[in-house]
Amino acid sequence: VHRVLQARGLRPHRVRPWLHSPDPDFRPKVRRICELYLDPPKDAVVLCIDEKPMQALSRRYPTRRTRDGSLRREFEYVRHGTRALLGAFEVRKGKVVGKVVKHRDAASMLKFMERIARCYPKQRIIVIWDNLNIHKDGLGERWSLFNARHGNRFEFVYTPLHASWVNQIEIWFSILQRRVLRLGSFGDAGELEAAVRGFIAYWNRYEAHPFRWKFSGDFVQAPHRTHGQVVRHPTRRFHGRALVEEAPRPRPCPRSQAGQLAHSGVGGERRPHTARPSASHRDRYMGTRNAIPLPLGAHALPGPRAGAPARPPPRFLRLDAHADRVNHYEFAG
C-alpha cells in the first residue's frame, strides 16, 4: 500500500481543512474590504470590529522552569467564569479600543458603539464586521437608529459568509491569545479583565502599528498538480497562490564528477550549491522525480533587514515562571 500511494503521489494522512463560502457576492465584498485596507479614505476612519470570548482559567499547579530554560506547564485547570472582549482595530494607526463585558449581546454592543462614537466625535467611521446577529438591524432597526442619532457618520461593511480571516481585528486577537491568554493563569474573571485591559493599554502606548496587508482581493487559481508532482513556492507567505517560478530541470551530474568538481582544485570551476536534492533523496522522501528545482534560499522565509537593530524586550513585562501568574503587563508610575 505504501508503494502504491508513493507512486501516485497520494498522502491521505495529510488533511487540510477548508470552508466554502456560499455568499454569491464573495469576491466583490472581499475586494471592497481590501481596498479599504490598502487605500483607506483620508476623510474617514476604518475600524475592524469583532468579539472574542474568553475563559478565566487558573492552573491547578504552578508553571515551573526546567533546567534547559523551557517551561513546564500543568494541564489541569480550574474554570472561573467567562468574559467577552469587544474590540475595534483602527486600520490606519493600529490603535485598539476594547471593552470587556460579561455577556456578548446587542445591548453591550450598542454601548460599545456609543463609546466608539465618543472616541471619534467628528470623523466619518467605516465599520468592518461579520454577519453576527447583533451586527444586523433586526426588528428594532438598532443600527439605523444609532446612525441617525450620530448624523449618519457610520458606514457598515459586512464581510462575506465564512470569511472572518478578512477582518484585521482577528490578527490582533491572535496576538492577544498568544501573549496573554494562552499561558495566563487567572484566579477569577476580574484578573482576566485586568490583564486584557493592561495589554490593550500596553499595545496602544508602545506597539500600535498598522498591519502590512498585501492581499488585494484578486484570487488567482493555484497551480495544477499532476500525479507525483511537487510544486515549490518561492516563499511560504504566498502559499497557495500562483507565484511559482518554474525553472528548467538541469541535467543530473554524475556523483563521481560532482565530487571531483566540489573537492578538487583542478579540473574545472566549483559549481554553485543549489537546493535541488539528489534523485535518490527525492525518490525516498518526496516520492517523485518531477520536483521543480529552485536556487538555494529562493523558498526560504526572509530574515531581518540588514542593519536593523533588534528590538529589546519591554522592561515592564514581568514573566514569573514559578507562580501561577505568567503574563502581566505593568506600568511604572
pLDDT of residue 220: 67
CATH code assigned at 153: 3.30.420.10
Domains contained in the chain, number: 1
Of 189 and 249, more confident: 189
Of 321 and 77, more confident: 77
pLDDT band at 181 (very low <50, low <70, confident <90, very high): very high
257 in any annotated domain:
no
* Cell matching residue 182: 494562552
Alpha carbon distance 130, 138 (integer Å): 15
Instruction: Judge contact between 59 and 76, C-beta under 8 A.
Output: yes
Which range marks the domain in which residue 168 is found?
24-63+72-207
**pTM attached to this predicted model:** 0.65
57 in any annotated domain:
yes
Q: What is the pLDDT of residues 97-144, one digit of tens each?
A: 999 999 999 999 999 999 999 999 999 999 999 999 999 998 889 999
pLDDT of residue 169: 96
55 in any annotated domain:
yes
Q: What is the pLDDT of residues 257-281, one digit of tens each?
A: 544 444 444 444 445 544 555 555 4
260 in any annotated domain:
no
285 in any annotated domain:
no
Grid cell 466619518 in the structure block, residue: 124
Among 116-130, 155-169, 173-187, 302-316, the least confident range = 302-316
274 in any annotated domain:
no
pLDDT of residue 175: 96
202 in any annotated domain:
yes
pLDDT of residue 199: 96
pLDDT of residue 69: 85
155 in any annotated domain:
yes
